Structure 1
């Protein structure tokens, strides 16, 4: 009988000293960003300091690996926190966003075409690499499908990492400049409604752990995020559970996810960094402009306001966009639902394209 895979797959021993250095650098950057009043302080500050430390280590051929199970747990924790914001009223309003979900399909098609054009003309990528670098979602899937099709794995990995990175940096700053709200430096939606008890601090991570297992058993997309989110949303939306999450828990989740994102560049080797950075910045900027245009159109035909629609369409990671939505007081469940649908469509289209990748390459 085939054994079930463990919740956390510890593929290699953890170097605690290197992990400590990464987390200290991230915490220092987050504290500085918080002091400066920057948006999403522990996500952005931790991310940027980790990137700087990672490149310094790369120049000296020092690896700074980040344990994948640690990131898995904290992304699951974010899913649990997102689900905790669901109320019965919000659950009843969910069918009203069907129009914006359908619009995601049009957005994915246009973003893919525009991205492909940019990577071919600005970056001068060959066809297969440009095809998968242009995917507006699904970092892991894009790299794997591109590898099978004969694309440049380094270019694909760095391009999609930069897409998420640029969105995480640009979107909070845009909200900060336009509205004056410091994203992520306040409690956010669903936080500090009362006194947090030990039951809350035990239940939130417990839901995260159960959700990881359920998500993997059901083969859900982004299982370690969606599983906990669905279970938490069901429990809170039906009134079976009510938890009070402290604001510092959001900071901790920001820190660990930000450090994990920055540490992905550990060991990255390549000579065309500037070309990849330039092309990815142009592509991400065009996608964000496209997101804004769609949001301006949809705000007239859906119950969601412009900030919610813009976050729902921005081509970032599900967990990162969920964190921004949490911090802004926007329904993170609605935002996450749109992003899961976007990633599903993107991967589905790319999987179809991969069957013809060899012909496209020729």
Structure 2
């Protein structure tokens, strides 16, 4: 007797979950960044290309995952990180805005590619907040498939080049692994996610925030963290990993053979522009060091465009000022995420987005 449709769907979901967990374990063991996000992306991509009618995730899954990511990012905003900016806040802010301008410039060039529109090009090369950008890309008119792949390549280039640059330019021979951030009990983190997720989304929608499911919880969690009301509560690591995996799956399942070919054609140009962005960020690090008198190692790590946890590990292992590095990295992450909706509206409303026919279908087609 053939299995019932409900049974087949359950078995398919279990197979997706097992494949994603296995891929995440392999990627994590290899030391690659964001292993669960990319594992979900790869698993969903394979499923979309191999299965005639790949499933879609249950309704509300994406919203819940966005809330978890928003709270995770919001808890990074703490008074200790803001205090570290101290007297150097103005040059740091100017360099952050310079990084945004650099991202917009390289994104505009990528947007001239025949397979990429201006909004997608800008999102794909924004330097910072890769996971958050993937979450909100589709909501703001970008193709999140291109954004996800190019953003992951950007982070991968930064992480893989980091030890080489530290060794050759600064004489650092290795760095320690990043330690987990101390947090409160798991129940406190779950309560924080539930409260900020529900209330933050409602407040975000009431305030007409774009991507309210991400930015609402993010801003509420940041406010609670800065006020001290959040205490030591942090998003439990398994829940954070699950949220990233679901986001990756959601993106991967929307691929088709045609869209995969389009992304492949984009990658050479994207990789060249990523290198330009990395070199430009290094130039901003030189300017920040000259303006503040801080060691170039500190400013280089602070302005590295991506790979937050790998950069923090390098800062700790190399003797750099890890608190300053974290402060600048978090500031840039927030600026990029909050500027993204404004950027998307400006590009779409200003007629810069080139339309090449109807938008891609909501789900995979054959």
TM-score with structure 2 setting the length? 0.67
Q: Does structure 2 conserve the Cα–Cα contact (< 8 Å) formed by 1:46 and 1:258?
A: yes
Q: Counterpart in 2 of 1:242? A: 231
Q: Could you tell me how far apart the structure 2 residues matched to 1:297 and 1:224 are?
A: 37
2:248 corresponds to which of 252, 257, 261 = 261
Q: Counterpart in 2 of 1:207? A: 196
Seen in structure 2, the aligned counterparts of structure 1 residues 359 and 260 have a Cα distance that, compared at 3 Å, is: closer
Q: Could you tell me how far apart the structure 1 residues matched to 2:78 and 2:350 are?
A: 45
* Cα RMSD for the two superposed structures: 4.1
Seen in structure 2, the aligned counterparts of structure 1 residues 64 and 102 have a Cα distance that, compared at 3 Å, is: farther
CA deviation profile, 1:194-229 (whole Å, cap 9, x unmatched): x72644543444333322322332233543333333
CA deviation profile, 1:251-310 (whole Å, cap 9, x unmatched): 441343144224413242314443123233333333233233323422443577432322
Q: Could you tell me how far apart the structure 1 residues matched to 2:91 and 2:31 are?
A: 34
User: Gaps spanning 5+ residues in structure 1: where?
Assistant: 1-14, 147-152, 315-320
Q: Deviation of residue 63 (structure 1)?
A: 1.7
User: Gaps spanning 5+ residues in structure 2: where?
Assistant: 1-8, 127-132, 167-171, 315-321, 357-366
The alignment status of 1:38 with 2:28, answered yes or no, reads no
Q: Deviation of residue 86 (structure 1)?
A: 4.6
Secondary structure in 1 aligned to 2:60?
A: helix
Q: Deviation of residue 352 (structure 1)?
A: 3.8
Matches within 5 A, 1:1-362: 16-34=10-28, 36=29, 38-40=31-33, 43-44=34-35, 47-48=38-39, 50-52=41-43, 54-67=45-58, 69-93=60-84, 96-117=88-109, 120=112, 123=113, 125=114, 129-135=116-122, 136-137=125-126, 156-175=143-162, 178=166, 180-181=174-175, 186-188=178-180, 190-192=181-183, 196=185, 198-245=187-234, 249-269=236-256, 270=258, 271-301=261-291, 305-311=299-305, 314=306, 335-345=329-339, 347-349=341-343, 351-357=345-351
Q: Does structure 1 conserve the Cα–Cα contact (< 8 Å) formed by 2:196 and 2:220?
A: yes
Secondary structure in 2 aligned to 1:357?
A: coil
Q: Does structure 2 conserve the Cα–Cα contact (< 8 Å) formed by 1:23 and 1:259?
A: no
Aligned residues: 317
